Amino acid sequence: MGDELKCLVVVAHPDDESIWMGGTILRHTDWEWHVLSLCRADDADRAPRFHRAARELGARGYISDLDDSPIPAPLTENFAQIKERVRGVASEGFDLVFTHGAEGEYTYHARHAQTHRAVREMIADGELAGALFVFAYHDLGGAARPRPAADADIAIDLTPTQFERKRRIVRDIYGFGPGSFEFDSAGPVEAFNVPDGSQQPRVVAGLCAGLVRDRGRTLQPRTECGDREPPPRLVCFAFSLFRAFAIGIHLPWLGNRSCVS
């Protein structure tokens, strides 16, 4: 399989993929990206913008028609409406899966929280393969624009080029200019949490460049991934597993698959 990873991003709306992790996608152009927006397939304005954004990100885009009314239609208790749409792309199997945080990224959109629960349940039930990473932002209870959570497991500092390309997508493709919620929320740092990280193998990775088994250390609670040299024990837990694939490490939390194709 080489250095390439197959990644799925599941978001509620067109633009969520760019605002919360567009820079991370642009950072890893050698990975295979699939992006599913659950809502707005019938939106004559937003749907074409989503496909343009996906192309700019180098991703394959899918968009569905989950209700996104101002007062969203209620979902069944097991979020079957969301899971049905995710199954449409989940059959391929993925190495990494990204989605919304448990409470969403701002106060408050029910579809974000529902998407998190549905994706997490699908992974737990074996319906969706892949290591799960969730967006880690907060807005101080609605008092501020969303910002990376201070206690996020992973914080990625975008390069100036990555940040500017991300902002161009939000501004020029989605049409949200400076001063808008969307543009101002699309910051230069992207943050993620690793749900149930204590249950995963002990790992240590160098500067977001690879994943290997750790011999006795646990995941650091605050991991920063930038282009600067990290302190000796500040290491990055993910976003690049290609070393693991290259040396043939088996990672049980990726499912019953070998790390070498």
DSSP labels, 94-127? -SEEEE--TT-SSTT-HHHHHHHHHHHHHHHTTS
* Other CB atoms within 10 Å distance of the CB of residue 124: 12
Contacts of 76 (CB under 8 A, 6+ apart): none
Cα angle value 244/154/150 (rounded, 5°): 165
Average pLDDT, the chain: 80
Looking at the DSSP bridge assignments, the partners of residue 203 are 213
At 101, list the tokens: 């945080």
> Is the model's pLDDT at 57 over the cut of 70?
yes
Return the minimum-mean-pLDDT range out of 14-18, 42-46, 174-178, 231-235.
231-235
Contacts of 216 (CB under 8 A, 6+ apart): 202
- Cβ pair 201, 213 in contact under 8 A: yes
Q: What is the mean pLDDT of residues 10-16?
A: 98
The predicted-structure confidence for 186-200, as pLDDT tens digits, reads as follows 999 999 999 976 444
The predicted-structure confidence for 141-160, as pLDDT tens digits, reads as follows 999 999 999 999 999 999 99
Give burial (CB, 10 Å; 0-12/13-18/19+) of 89. Answer: middle
**How far lies 84's CA from each of 49, 96, 120, in Å?**
24, 19, 14
pTM recorded for the entire structure: 0.79
> Is the model's pLDDT at 217 over the cut of 50?
no
pLDDT, greater one: 131 or 236: 131
Please report which confidence band the pLDDT of residue 6 belongs to, taking 50, 70 and 90 as the band edges: very high
Which letter does DSSP use for residue 35 in this model? E
Looking at the DSSP bridge assignments, the partners of residue 193 are 134
pLDDT at 134: 96
Q: What is the mean pLDDT of residues 121-131?
A: 94
Return the minimum-mean-pLDDT range out of 1-10, 101-110, 195-204.
195-204
Which letter does DSSP use for residue 185 in this model? H
Looking at the DSSP bridge assignments, the partners of residue 6 are 32
- Cβ pair 2, 41 in contact under 8 A: no
Catalogue all structural domains in the chain, each as residue range(s) with its CATH number: 6-199 (3.40.50.10320)
Run of H or E including 57: helix 46-57
| Separation of alpha carbons 20 and 85, rounded Å | 21
Q: What is the mean pLDDT of residues 88-113?
A: 93
